[in-house]
Structures are given as C-alpha cells and as structure tokens.
Amino acid sequence: MSWEIFQTDDIAACVALRREVFIVEQGIAEEDEIDDLDDEAIHILASVDGTPVGTARLLIAGTTGKIGRICVLKSQRGTGLGAALVQFGAQHLKERGDLTRIALGAQEYAIGFYEKLGFKVCGPIYDDAGIPHRDMEILL
C-alpha cells in the first residue's frame, strides 16, 4: 500500500486524524489537543487512495521549525508512514533556508524512532497532556 504526502489547507481532515489518534486512542483531553496554533501552522496530510491516514503540522518560532501533532492511523502503523511524515516535514523546513534547527516534542516511548531519523534528545523529561515527553532536535 502506498501513500501520498502533501501540504494541505484541509485543517479539518488533519484535526479529525488527531482526534482519532490522540483523543480517542490515547485519551488526551480535547482542550489539550485542539489549540489556536492550527491557523498559523503548515499542515501535512498523508492519504491512501484519497483517504486521510496520517498528519503532522509545522510551526515556525524565530529560527526554529517545529514538527508536531504527528499521527498515523493504527491501520497504517509499521508501514514507514510515520517516518515519511517526519522526513517530509523536516525537508520542508530545511528548504526554507532561514532556520537553524528543527525541533519536536517526542513521547518518551518514541525517542528511538526519532533518533533513527537524526533527532537528538536536548531536554529533560516533561509532562505533556499526562504523557512523558522529551524535546529533540536536529541542528541545521
């Protein structure tokens, strides 16, 4: 099964995926997941045969690009889609040419996944919506 990954203005499709993975599956409160940053974010959507199956969003803060809200539907996990979403987002941020680092907040269990993609831990464990996280980065 192959997917297509692209930048999108369909925020509703991205939020629907995040609701399924983060709110329904992981039990994160809606007020912790849905915030006011969606309007300023760059949204990435992955689809299979036109059906949304994964998403991420990119935020810019000064010279840092942040990849966040990375999620893949359960049916697509283990296919490489999560890595492809992160790589697509990182490439998009690198191509801007005005950033010095790419950052993300990784759920602690996923640190090894992001390390394989070139990210390094750069901060202590912290709680985000009841889930242990660590900040990670790639310096450009």
Two tokens, residue 20: 């399924």
Asked if residues 123 and 43 have their Cβ atoms less than 8 Å apart, the reply is: no
Domain containing 111 — which CATH number?
3.40.630.30
User: What pLDDT score was predicted for residue 35?
Assistant: 92
2 falls in which pLDDT band (50, 70, 90)? confident
- Write the pLDDT tens digit of every residue in 38-96: 999 999 999 999 999 999 999 999 999 999 999 999 999 999 999 999 999 999 999 99
Residue ranges making up the domain that contains 47: 4-139
Asked if residues 56 and 89 have their Cβ atoms less than 8 Å apart, the reply is: yes
Which residue's structure tokens are 């999108």? 8
Two tokens, residue 101: 């680092």
Question: What's the rounded mean pLDDT across residues 96-120?
Answer: 96
Asked if residues 73 and 17 have their Cβ atoms less than 8 Å apart, the reply is: yes
Domains: count for the chain: 1
Cβ contacts of 129 within 8 Å, gap of 6 or more: 22, 28, 29, 32, 33
Q: Please determine, for residue 1, whether its predicted confidence score (pLDDT) is greater than 80.
A: no
What predicted TM-score, i.e. pTM, was given to this entire model?
Answer: 0.94
